[in-house]
Structure 1
Amino acid sequence: MLKDRAIPEENLTALFDFLAKFLEMPYKNFKSHVSEQLIKCTCEKDDGPIHWVGEISYKCWFVVKGMVIIYMNGKDGKLIRGFFKAGEIAILPNSFKNSVASGSGLIGVPDTELLEISTFQMQQIYELFPKSLDLESKIISSVVGKSELRDRLIKLSAQDRVNEFHSLFPETKGKNRTVKLLDKDKANYLNLGETYFSRFCADDREE
């Protein structure tokens, strides 16, 4: 993973626009202080997870571009349980807030761009800007539905699962997809065999 302290202004604007949807911060120096704590990260093809199953999550990430996969370990390999897409914050709430080992891990799709912050830095932000705790609570509440979405999708027929998935995540569809999520990962998420999955998306071949 490539890391850089220099963050483009448009990335910061995207982050603070996202935060403002939940709660406006009534502090003059909030944006400048938070901006100074962030690190820009770019995920590369051969990177491992940005967070491993079973470890305590000391970081969270705003997804500037691309996608972050939520996975668990199964007896036959990883089980994909959800995604954080561009414009969302990738966080494992219980582990991040309570310093407990997480049952899930996170993987950045290649070329995904993230803004990273740690729990230590967040503690400083809480102390300086108390209302940021309310903001965090609202963001965490929005994450809860990730697993529920998958539960709803896998009750559909195979064709409807694929169609609904591409309706929800159009950036992953077709040869010109902007997020190059692999077919095997889509199939895993939708509880379909990869070969079986491929029958339902002939226009969605990987390059």
Structure 2
Amino acid sequence: MRSIQLRLDLPSPYVHPMHAFVADTPGFRATRLRHWNPAVGQRNTLVFFVDGDDPDAYTAALEEQPSILAYEIAAESSRRGFHLVVTEDQRGADARLTAAFLDTGVVVVPPIVYRDDRCIDLSIVGSSGEVETALEGLPSDVEVTVQQIRSYDGRSADPMAALTPRQRQALRAAVRNGYYNSTREATLEPVADELGCSRSTAAEHLRKAEATVLRRVVDDVPGHGA
């Protein structure tokens, strides 16, 4: 089973008007599609995070789109941008794009990133034959770039999957012993004791584990960039 990261360079008919708005409007960067209803069809409900500075301007643009049936925006206090839940009648161009991934056996793994250069980044998981079928089903005028191919290991969904067993053990020991509490309740000593190693070795395991997990998490944080 393979995980494929793709970039789709879209000709104008396939660029959603709200994607175009983000690409053309200063103060907006990328939009991430986080969740959608499992039975993709003519009417869909989707959850986005919009990396943008002006929700009012975005709302005004939404109001102008005849395909948008309902929406709700929620502010995000801890970082720039806002959450969006939207119900939409699927446009014909969008249906032609999504049709390539329906009934092929591949799974599209969120987030789908709508970049400010009008490209889309997405990851799909499936067998070699299923992936090939999906790519062949894309419209011929959509330019596809394969960014990365690897064996699927759950990393997109679970940052811990990228850790070695020893790093995972070290993180669990640190959490269990209160090392990461807001008022730190433990030094490295109980972590090292649980691992059966020196404090310097325990610190090294934790440093590498933290770096791996944080890189995975930050890559998927709205507002981090495309």
TM-score, normalisation: structure 2? 0.24
Of the two, which has the highest radius of gyration? 2
TM-score, normalisation: structure 1? 0.26
Q: Which has the higher helix share?
A: 1
Larger relative contact order (CA 8 Å, sep ≥ 6): 2
Q: Which has the higher strand share?
A: 2
